[in-house]
Amino acid sequence: MAVVLETRLDWRAVARVAHGAPLVLSDAAVARIETAHRIVGALVESGVRAYGITTGVGALADTVVDRPSQSRLSRNIVLSHACGVGPLLDATSVRAIMAAQVANMAHGHSGVRVDVVATLCTFLEKNGIPDIPARGSAGYLTHNAHIALVLIGEGRAQVDGVSLRGADALAALGLAPLVLEAKEGLSLVNGTACSTGLGALALSRAARLLNWADAIAALTLEALGAQMTAFDAEVLALRPSPGLLAVGATLRRRLAGSGLIAAARGRRTQDALSLRAVPHVHGAARDAFDVTATVVDRELASVTDNPAVAGTPEAPRVFSQAHAVAPALAQALDGLSVAIAQLAAMSERRIDRLVNPLVSGLPPFLATDPGAGSGFMIAQYTAAALAAENRRLATPASLDGGLTSGNQEDFLAHPTAAANKLLAILDNAEQILAIEYAAAAQAHDLIAAPFGHGDTPPHTRAPGTEALHRHLRRTIPPYADDRPLGQDLEAARRAMTDIDVDGV
């Protein structure tokens, strides 16, 4: 179903477009865009000095550009700013950025023609994916410029999976190259669409990961005989964190009716922190998520084009400002990166407790034939390596700084770098949690098949964890050192990322 842009988009709408939904402009949005374009026309007629309209950009802001050169200025901005390098962004990321671009222009303060915005919407509708190199953006300019390249018939794009030159891609979509007018080149490369779009995409992945993290932790808690008194509603209410309380409720619900938990009651005075503090760490990540979602939605509600136009065609106004800088967004994305990295680090600690015979009470390394088989020994190494990489990635991008454009751009907030780091951390966190999922399921299989001497009969799983175990076992069988374990870990990740845990 199409996403209709009335006044603004939120992060969920951007994520829907990123995953394939078309984006349609309402009549009100079209009217706002048309009015802003007429205001730019009036500014050009008046000859007033206006950044990027009648002047150069960056350190050339005081260089006046005559009227015959203004269209050439727009085209030149696109060509000169399209200097990204490295591997291409995936299609989902490109769609998220284009959706955020449309949202920014539809506020009615950019001044581009409706045709420019409609062309972006056509790319989204017909799944035209401009080639965007992933690296080289200190803020937003290079990614956006590579999209704009294709709109003017340059660059390259994928259409139905086929790589085409920009002009051929436009033709395949039933479009002609745009001849840019005053300000349109600057508006196409300007604003925070890149970091905001990628941030919205990261939020959609983080929302699913947080739900799976709670469920997988419950499966591990049950396998290790956790003491549930730490998760009582009365106890958790002593720390009034919305995220913590939500996680506690999920754990109680998932583990309700567990014979394994009932049998373990009173076995220990208290559990290790990687078990006992699940609501605190997962809850903190949920609280950070809520803050980040608020900031991303605020960014989508903001005009992030510089300059911004306002007033009427009869009384045009133009404002040079700094809305294209996004320190709040960079800080929020950095904060969520730290929270997800910490959550994943705790998952790795639970994996260690599952495989370590000194604390698990299970066969060493969850092997079905310890000694002849290594079981999940090296899977824990993989999780430890990914957790270590996350610690390196979690260093804040928002503090990187830097100087560009002859000291005119003498402060950089790096929101795009923050978004990219968050997405990389999510990649690692998904895989760490998938390793825990596979290990916890293996632990349950070993519990169900008693080992050693004097073992008591197995107890039953809770209905909530039984569903989780059954879901994974539809994909992979128990592991017996009979195949490469890595392929199972990838399959466990797909079992998480292809469906929301509420559907399990």
Under the banding of pLDDT at 50, 70 and 90, the label for residue 340 is: very high
Which CATH number is 344's domain given? 1.20.200.10
Q: Is 30 exposed, middle or buried (0-12, 13-18, 19+ CB in 10 A)?
A: middle
Assess whether pLDDT exceeds 70 at residue 409: no
- Comparing 158-162, 251-255, 356-360, 396-400, which segment has the lowest mean pLDDT? 396-400
Same-domain pairing of 97 and 181 = yes
CATH number at residue 14: 1.10.275.10
- pLDDT of res. 412: 74
Same domain (yes/no): 153, 278: no
Output the pTM of the full model: 0.94
Question: Comparing 59 with 453, which gets the higher pLDDT?
Answer: 59
Q: What is the DSSP letter of 270?
A: S
CA 411 to centroid of chain Cα atoms: 25
Strand, coil or helix: 317: strand
Share of the chain above pLDDT 70, in %: 92
pLDDT at 451: 46
Would you name the residues annotated as active-site residues? 51
Q: What is the pLDDT of residues 21-44, one digit of tens each?
A: 999 999 999 999 999 999 999 988
- DSSP 8-class letter at 88: E
Q: Judge contact between 51 and 306, C-beta under 8 A.
A: yes
> What confidence score (pLDDT) does residue 51 get?
75
Determine the pLDDT at residue 73: 82
**pLDDT attached to residue 450:** 54
Q: Are residues 212 and 260 in the same domain?
A: yes
Whether residue 484 is preceded by a cis peptide bond, meaning omega within 30 degrees of 0, is no
Q: Render the burial of 332-370: b for 16+ CB within 10 Å, e for the rest.
A: bbbbbbbbbbbbbbbbbbbbbbbbeeeebebbbbbbbee
**Does one domain contain both 159 and 225?**
no
Across 347-361, average pLDDT: 96
**Range with top average pLDDT, 49-53, 261-265, 405-409:** 261-265
Residue 459's pLDDT is 79
C-alpha closest to that of 303 among 292, 319, 286, 280? 319
What's the average model confidence in pLDDT over 17-21? Answer: 98
| Co-location of 496 and 459 in the same domain | yes
CB contact at 8 A, 143 and 97: yes
Number of domains present in the structure of the chain: 2
Weakest-pLDDT range from 298-302, 454-458, 491-495: 454-458
Residues 166 and 228 in one domain: no
Residue located via tokens 């794009």: 157
pLDDT tens-digit profile of 173-187? 999 999 999 889 999
Task: Assess contact for 432 and 347: CB atoms under 8 A.
Answer: yes
Closest CA to 479 of 385, 371, 369: 369
The CA radius of gyration of the chain, in Å to the nearest whole number, is: 26
Q: Are the beta carbons of 447 and 458 closer than 8 angstroms? A: yes
Percentage of the chain surpassing pLDDT 90? 80
CA distance 251 to 245: 10
- pLDDT winner (highest mean) among 58-72, 272-286, 406-420: 272-286
- The domain containing residue 298 runs over which residues? 199-503
Q: Using CA atoms, how far apart are residues 63 and 52, in angstroms rounded to an integer?
A: 10
Taking the CA of residue 448 as centre, how many other CA atoms within 13 Å lie in the half-sphere pointing to its CB?
A: 12
Mean pLDDT for 335-364 is 97
In this predicted model, what pLDDT tens digit does every residue of 303-321 receive, in sequence order?
998 899 999 999 999 898 8
| Whether residue 36 is found in the same domain as residue 71 | yes
Q: Which of 442, 427, 312, 424 is nearest to 377 (CA)?
A: 442
On whether both 11 and 82 belong to a single domain, the answer is yes
Q: Are residues 174 and 239 in the same domain?
A: no
On whether both 424 and 399 belong to a single domain, the answer is yes
pLDDT at 455 over 60: no
Whole-number average pLDDT of the chain: 92
Whether the predicted pLDDT of 50 surpasses 80: no
Helix (H) or strand (E) holding 418: helix 415-448
Closest CA to 318 of 32, 101, 100, 41: 41
The sheet with strand 128-130 has its strands ordered as 128-130, 156-159, 162-165
Domain boundary (167, 190, 213) is at 190
The H-assigned helical ranges of 88-177 are 91-105, 114-125, 141-151, 166-172
Domain's final residue, options 190, 223, 258? 190
* Pairing assessment for the beta strands 162-165 and 156-159 based on DSSP bridges: antiparallel
Position 332, amino acid: A
pLDDT per residue as tens digits for the range 185-202: 999 998 899 999 999 999
- Whether 223 and 357 share a structural domain: yes
pLDDT for the residue 454? 43
pLDDT band at 15 (very low <50, low <70, confident <90, very high): very high
- Return d(Cα 148, Cα 106) in angstroms, integer: 17
Answer with the one of 190, 219, 250 that is the final residue of a domain: 190
Residues 200-215 pLDDT 10s: 999 999 999 999 999 9
- The sign of the dihedral angle between the CA atoms of 405, 408, 411, 416 is negative
Residue 349, token pair as written in the block: 């600690």
Lowest mean per-residue pLDDT among 66-70, 407-411, 446-450, 459-463: 407-411
User: What is the model's pLDDT at position 453?
Assistant: 41
Q: What is the pLDDT of residue 410?
A: 59
Supply the pLDDT for residue 398. Answer: 87
Judge if 297 and 157 occupy the same domain: no
CB proximity list for 414: less than 8 A, separation 6 or greater = 138, 139, 330, 397, 398, 400, 402
